Structures are given as structure tokens and as C-alpha cells.
């Protein structure tokens, strides 16, 4: 059973999400929160598998709540999907940098939202290649940045680093495999090893690490 916490300042939105989740086999809504502080408190209390997190909430916003939840060792197994009406690239990157495993707009269909919950709960990252490429274009080529190389970056093999960069550029596993003339399973294995070595929560965080380490140019 996948346990979901809903955090949104609109009661109607919370009701709709809770109804959708509770009516789906294999899912249950374990709590609600109307602001960021309550979201953190409820996450600590309920230990959910997934948090559906709004960005714009009173007091502590969803991004700060995401940072607090992902920084809590007791919530290491909790994954966060940011669900918002805002599609600006800055929000997407800030959400991922804060530790979110995915980003969805509120006009996402119910079926896609349910699939997203299952994907992230299974350890996947909810970030399509097209979104990744947008992030890279926006923040690597247009936004000034201060590099902060990951301290464990030297532990990666040359191949793991190469594949990490390709993943961060938005290539899916099969595209990486085609580019490097390797199998899709091998590409997936290298990405998994890179995640373990760098302590990445999921594939989405590899994009952040690659960006902050200056691997994308």
C-alpha cells in the first residue's frame, strides 16, 4: 500500500486529491496539510511514501517544506511530488534542488497523477527528457551560477560520469544506450551506481548534481 500525504492550501483541491487517492487500489491518503509547517509536521507524524506538495502556501511554502522533509533522516524513504499551477522553469529547478522527485502541473489528468505516484514510489524520477532539456538550456546557458562540485564526484568511473552527463542532458536510458552502443540495462546500471556513489535520492537529483558540479556546458 502506497501511503500519500496531501499538502495544499485549498480545501477543495485537498478533498479532490484525497478522494482520487482513496478510491485507487493500492493507495491510501494518510493525512492533509494546508501550509508548509503542517506538511512537515504531518510527514513526521505519518511517515508517508509520497507527499503531493503545493508550492504556494501561506507561511512556509512548499519548497521550504520540501527541503525540511528531505533533510530529515527519519523521512529518508519519503518522496515528494511538487504539484502546482506554476510551470516556470525556475519553479521546476528549485523544486528539484530542494529534493523533490518530480514536478507536475495541477491540470495533469487523474490517470497521469496516479501513474506518477506509482513511478516515484517505485524509486523513479518524474521528470521527462523534455523538461530536463529545458532546465539545462535555461540554467546552464542563461543563468549565472556558482559551481559547487559534489565532493564524491571523483569516486565515479569515467563511464559513470559520462552517462550521468547524458542523463542530465535529458537522454532516456535507451537513448543513452544508443549513443554509447551499450545495452539499456547497462546504461541503467551505471546510472544506479552513480546515484549510490553520490547519495542521490533519485535520478532527478543527478541533474542537480551535474549542474552544480559544472558537468554541463
Question: So what's the pLDDT on residue 181?
Answer: 93
Question: So what's the pLDDT on residue 139?
Answer: 56
- Indicate whether 13 and 113 sit together in one domain: yes
Q: Is residue 134 part of a domain?
A: no
Question: So what's the pLDDT on residue 109?
Answer: 87
- Indicate whether 74 and 150 sit together in one domain: no
Backbone angles phi, psi at 142, to 5 degrees: -115, -25
Q: Is residue 138 part of a domain?
A: no
- Which residue range(s) make up the domain with 183? 144-212
Q: Is residue 139 part of a domain?
A: no
Q: Reply yes or no on whether the pLDDT at 60 is more than 80.
A: yes
| CA dist., res. 4 & res. 139, Å (int) | 31
Question: So what's the pLDDT on residue 6?
Answer: 97
| CA dist., res. 54 & res. 84, Å (int) | 5
Per residue in 168-204, pLDDT tens? 777 778 889 999 999 989 998 998 899 899 988 777 7
pLDDT band of 30, cuts 50, 70, 90: very high
Considering 96, 126, 156, which residue would you say is the last residue of a domain? 126
3-class secondary structure, 124: coil
CATH number of the domain enclosing 180: 1.10.10.10
- Indicate whether 97 and 13 sit together in one domain: yes
* % pLDDT > 90, the chain: 47
Q: Is residue 91 part of a domain?
A: yes
- Indicate whether 41 and 91 sit together in one domain: yes
Q: Are 21 and 7 in contact (CB under 8 A)?
A: no
Question: So what's the pLDDT on residue 214?
Answer: 83
CATH number of the domain enclosing 12: 3.40.50.2300
- Indicate whether 169 and 118 sit together in one domain: no
3-class secondary structure, 105: strand
pLDDT band of 74, cuts 50, 70, 90: very high
The number of domains in the chain is 2
- Indicate whether 154 and 68 sit together in one domain: no
Which pTM value belongs to this model?
0.69
Q: Is residue 58 part of a domain?
A: yes
- Indicate whether 188 and 103 sit together in one domain: no
Q: Is residue 217 part of a domain?
A: no
| CA dist., res. 181 & res. 202, Å (int) | 24
Task: Tell me the average pLDDT of the chain.
Answer: 85
Q: Is residue 150 part of a domain?
A: yes
Tell me the average pLDDT across 20-27.
95
- Indicate whether 171 and 120 sit together in one domain: no
- Indicate whether 10 and 50 sit together in one domain: yes
- Indicate whether 116 and 43 sit together in one domain: yes
Question: So what's the pLDDT on residue 212?
Answer: 79
- Indicate whether 151 and 187 sit together in one domain: yes
Q: Are 149 and 214 in contact (CB under 8 A)?
A: yes
- Indicate whether 115 and 185 sit together in one domain: no
Of 37 and 134, more confident = 37
Amino acid at each position: 500500500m502506497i501511503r500519500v500525504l496531501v499538502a495544499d492550501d485549498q480545501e477543495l483541491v485537498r478533498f479532490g486529491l484525497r478522494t482520487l487517492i482513496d478510491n485507487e487500489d493500492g493507495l491510501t491518503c494518510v493525512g492533509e496539510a494546508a501550509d508548509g509547517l503542517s506538511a512537515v509536521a504531518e510527514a513526521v507524524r505519518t511517515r508517508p511514501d509520497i507527499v503531493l506538495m503545493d508550492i504556494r502556501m501561506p507561511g512556509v511554502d512548499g519548497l521550504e517544506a520540501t527541503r525540511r522533509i528531505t533533510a530529515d533522516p527519519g523521512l529518508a524513504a519519503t518522496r515528494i511530488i511538487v504539484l502546482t499551477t506554476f510551470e516556470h522553469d525556475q519553479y521546476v529547478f528549485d523544486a528539484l534542488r530542494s529534493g523533490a522527485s518530480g514536478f507536475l502541473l495541477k491540470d495533469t489528468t487523474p490517470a497521469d497523477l496516479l501513474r506518477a505516484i506509482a513511478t516515484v514510489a517505485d524509486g523513479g524520477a518524474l521528470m521527462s527528457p523534455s523538461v530536463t532539456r529545458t532546465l539545462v538550456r535555461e540554467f546552464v546557458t542563461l543563468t549565472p551560477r556558482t559551481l559547487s562540485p559534489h565532493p564524491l564526484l571523483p569516486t565515479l568511473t569515467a563511464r559513470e560520469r559520462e552517462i550521468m552527463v547524458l542523463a542530465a542532458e535529458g537522454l532516456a536510458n535507451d537513448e543513452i544506450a544508443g549513443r554509447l552502443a551499450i545495452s539499456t540495462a547497462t546504461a541503467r546500471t551505471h546510472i544506479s551506481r552513480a546515484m549510490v556513489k553520490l547519495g542521490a535520492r533519485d535520478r532527478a537529483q543527478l541533474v542537480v548534481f551535474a549542474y552544480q558540479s559544472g558537468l554541463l556546458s
